[in-house]
Amino acid sequence: MFSWVKQEHGSHNKEGEMYQTVTEGLQTLYSKKLLPLEETYLFHDFHSPALEPADFQSKPMVLLVGQYSTGKTTFIRYLLEQDFPGMRIGPEPTTDGFIAVMYGENEGVVPGNALVVDSKKPFRKLNAFGNAFLNRFICSQMPNQVLQSISIIDTPGILSGEKQRISRGYDFAEVLRWFGERVDRIILLFDAHKLDISDEFSEAIRALKGQDDKIRVVLNKADQVDTQQLMRVYGALMWSLGKVINTPEVVRVYLGSFWAKPLQNTENRRLFEAESQDLFRDIQSLPRNAALRKLNDLIKRARLAKVHAYIISYLKKEMPTLFGREKKKEELIMRLPEIYTILQREHHISAGDFPNVNKMQDMLQHYDFHKFPSLKMKLIESVDKMLATKIAVLMAMIREEESKQPAPFVSGGAFEGSQDGPFGQGYGEGISAGADAEDWIVSRDKHRYDEIFYTLMPVNGKITGVNAKKEMMNSRLPNTVLGKIWKLADCDQDGMLDDDEFALAQHLIKIKLEGYELPSELPDHLVPPSHRKNPAANTLYNHTED
């Protein structure tokens, strides 16, 4: 994933270790500094399996989660613009397993049991979920340009009502938690007609707790309702999400219809286009931000590993030497919330860094506290040093490479040509209107602007800033915006406006009032013909006026 992040001569840290790539640096720090702490205090049994080289080297991954028939598989088909092996689409729960859609030179399907023994894929630790899961896990490989930059994980449709009582045979929430810790983006899909969040869906969302920065929400099939209904649907969705996602920030929700078929209701077409472009830009940014995301996840893991070490060593310290171990164990488990408070004060740790107390109490029931290791400060200090100094070395490498190389981004499929051409967002609208027209677009309304211009008492064909200000203030736009419009319209920068410049100013005000942004520099097609350096343009304009 970080093959694009390279140094010409590498980067040294204070101990003389040399990192040729950010990937190598992350792997080295993890294996030498963090892994010993995790192994000593049984971190992998309580929280997350050990990371492998493939976890650092894999492409950015996008995880799709949603109830059945919300369009998850169709969404992938829409992005790739082609079918992928193992794809099934229908109104009933068709996807009954996890599908990792990845790049491969040859099209085909790799079964789960074969997938978890492949050291080049980041799925080896999924072996712990057993055959019941692996029989419902496949990797769909195909040569597709989109998949050269990202991988996409399709999940089973989450069940509702009576269906959710049927056991899947494996811990669905735990599998989601495993993927949530490793992917770069989590997309929750909702159907405009299915806003209810079932018990299993609530459990799935709670399993993604701690990954709030990765979560985006997509309200799919939004073209099936009109504007008034869409407002009600959006409000109901936010209310439902507020009950299961306990964060003060509002989750980003993208509205649209993500499949390649005609819109059923076109009155919100511009909104859907803007929302889809925002979502595309978010997905396209994943390769560029992948290094920072891996770095951020390593820091989060290190903080949790430190807290876990403090908890385990404290429980060991409190155990009696010979008698009453079982009774003391039960007492310590009951006192775990109090122990959290003690450790917070003693080691100056934030409450948000501690694991879920109920889950921790359940897991501790199965361990002999007497066999827990004591606190080894050298391991803690090694991780502290990594966080304080060595992470900064990798941060510097990332920034340096970003300045030297063009940022990678997702291309191909639905991303190809979504920005350029006549069907790109904003093409022929706002400031771009008239870019491909032969005449000066302002001239179409210039007769109205001229009527206003001559009421402002021009002298020698020009009006002063004072007179122009009175008229421009009628737009009620802020002075900062009107000041920018004045600078753009005053082409010869003489502090006055002639009739063409005044017409241009009125045109820019109209663009701003319609909700479009103003440019920092005036585009060539908006420069008044009388102020252009090309005499042919002036002749054409005069001919049009005649």
Positive or negative: CA dihedral 78, 82, 84, 88: positive
- Give the domain ranges of the chain: 23-50+292-404, 61-285, 430-531
Same fold, 23-50+292-404 and 61-285: no
Domain 430-531 fold: Recoverin; domain 1 (1.10.238)
C-alpha 339/C-alpha 331 separation (Å) is 11
C-alpha 155/C-alpha 137 separation (Å) is 9
Which is nearest to 177 in space by CA: 203, 144, 156? 203
CATH 1.10.268.20 describes domain 23-50+292-404 = yes
Per-residue pLDDT of the chain (546 residues; tens, 9 = 90+): 344 343 334 555 545 456 677 888 888 899 999 999 999 999 999 988 888 888 888 889 999 998 888 888 889 998 998 888 888 776 555 557 899 999 999 999 999 999 998 888 899 889 988 898 999 999 999 999 999 999 999 998 887 654 544 567 788 888 999 999 889 999 999 988 877 787 888 888 888 888 888 999 999 988 888 889 989 988 888 888 887 777 666 788 999 888 878 888 888 888 888 898 899 999 998 888 888 888 888 999 999 999 999 999 999 998 887 777 888 889 999 999 999 999 999 999 888 889 989 989 999 998 888 889 999 999 999 999 998 888 888 888 887 766 666 667 787 877 775 555 556 656 667 888 888 888 898 999 999 999 999 998 889 999 988 888 888 999 999 999 999 999 999 998 899 999 999 999 999 999 999 888 888 889 889 999 998 876 554 444 444 444
CATH 3.40.50.300 describes domain 61-285 = yes
The b-or-e profile of 482-503 (16+ CB within 10 A means b, else e) is bebbbebbbbeeeebbbbbbbb
Q: Are the C-beta atoms of 164 and 200 separated by less than 8 Å? A: yes
Contacts of 100 (CB under 8 A, 6+ apart): 115, 121, 123, 137, 138, 139, 140, 151, 152, 153, 154
